[in-house]
A = this chain, B = another copy of it.
Amino acid sequence: MKTIEWLGRSLKVIDQTKLPAEEVYCEAKTHEEVAELIESMVVRGAPAIGAVVAYGYALGALEFQGSREEFFAHLENVQARLKATRPTAVNLSWALRRMEDRLREMRDAEDLELICAALVDEANAIAEDDRRMNKLIGEYGNTLVPEKATILTHCNAGALATVEYGTALGVIRTAFEAGKTVHVYATETRPLLQGARLTAWELFKAGIPVTLIADNMAGWLMQQDKIDLVIVGADRVVANGDTANKIGTYSLAVLAHTHGIPFYVAAPTSTIDLKMRTGMEIPIEQRSDKEMRELFGKQITPAEIDVYNPAFDVTPAKYITGIITENGIVAPPYAVNLLKMLVRS
Measured CB to CB, the residues of A under 8 A from B are 20-21, 185, 187-191, 193, 196-197, 200-201, 204, 209-221, 223, 247-248, 250-251, 254-255, 257-258, 292-293, 295-296, 298-302, 304-310, 313
**What B residues does A305 contact at CB under 8 A?**
196, 200-201, 204, 210-212
Interchain residue pairs A-B with the least CB separation, the first 3: A216-B248, A219-B251, A190-B214
User: Are B191 and A214 within 8 A (Cβ)?
Assistant: yes
Q: Which residue of B is nearest A253, CB measured?
A: B219
**What B residues does A306 contact at CB under 8 A?**
209-212
Show 17 residue pairs from A and B whose CB-CB distance is below 8 angstroms, ordered by the A residue. Answer: A20-B299, A20-B301, A21-B299, A188-B190, A193-B300, A196-B300, A201-B302, A211-B305, A211-B308, A213-B307, A216-B216, A216-B247, A217-B247, A218-B251, A220-B248, A223-B313, A258-B258
**What B residues does A217 contact at CB under 8 A?**
247-248, 308, 310, 313
A293–B220 CA distance with the chains assembled, in angstroms = 20
Most buried by B among A188, A189, A211, A293: A188
Q: Which residue of B is nearest A298, CB measured?
A: B296
A248–B196 CA distance with the chains assembled, in angstroms = 18
User: Are B220 and A313 within 8 A (Cβ)?
Assistant: yes
User: Are B211 and A301 within 8 A (Cβ)?
Assistant: no
A296–B255 CA distance with the chains assembled, in angstroms = 31
A160–B258 CA distance with the chains assembled, in angstroms = 34
**What B residues does A197 contact at CB under 8 A?**
300-301
**What B residues does A299 contact at CB under 8 A?**
20-21
**What B residues does A200 contact at CB under 8 A?**
301-302, 305
**What B residues does A212 contact at CB under 8 A?**
292-293, 301, 305-308
Most buried by B among A20, A197, A211, A214: A214
**What B residues does A292 contact at CB under 8 A?**
188, 212-214
A212-B301, A216-B216 given; 4 more Cβ-contact pairs under 8 Å: A210-B305, A212-B305, A217-B308, A255-B255
**What B residues does A255 contact at CB under 8 A?**
251, 254-255
**What B residues does A20 contact at CB under 8 A?**
299, 301-302
**What B residues does A300 contact at CB under 8 A?**
188, 193, 196-197
A255–B257 CA distance with the chains assembled, in angstroms = 11
User: Are A216 and B219 within 8 A (Cβ)?
Assistant: no
Minimum CB–CB distance for A242 against chain B, Å: 12
Most buried by B among A216, A221, A304: A216
Most buried by B among A185, A296, A302, A310: A302
Q: Which residue of B is nearest A214, CB measured?
A: B190
Q: Quick one: given A196-B300, A254-B254, are A187 and B210 in contact (CB under 8 Å)?
A: no
Minimum CB–CB distance for A213 against chain B, Å: 5
A248–B219 CA distance with the chains assembled, in angstroms = 7
A191–B214 CA distance with the chains assembled, in angstroms = 7
User: Are A250 and B193 within 8 A (Cβ)?
Assistant: no
Minimum CB–CB distance for A292 against chain B, Å: 6
**What B residues does A196 contact at CB under 8 A?**
300-301, 305
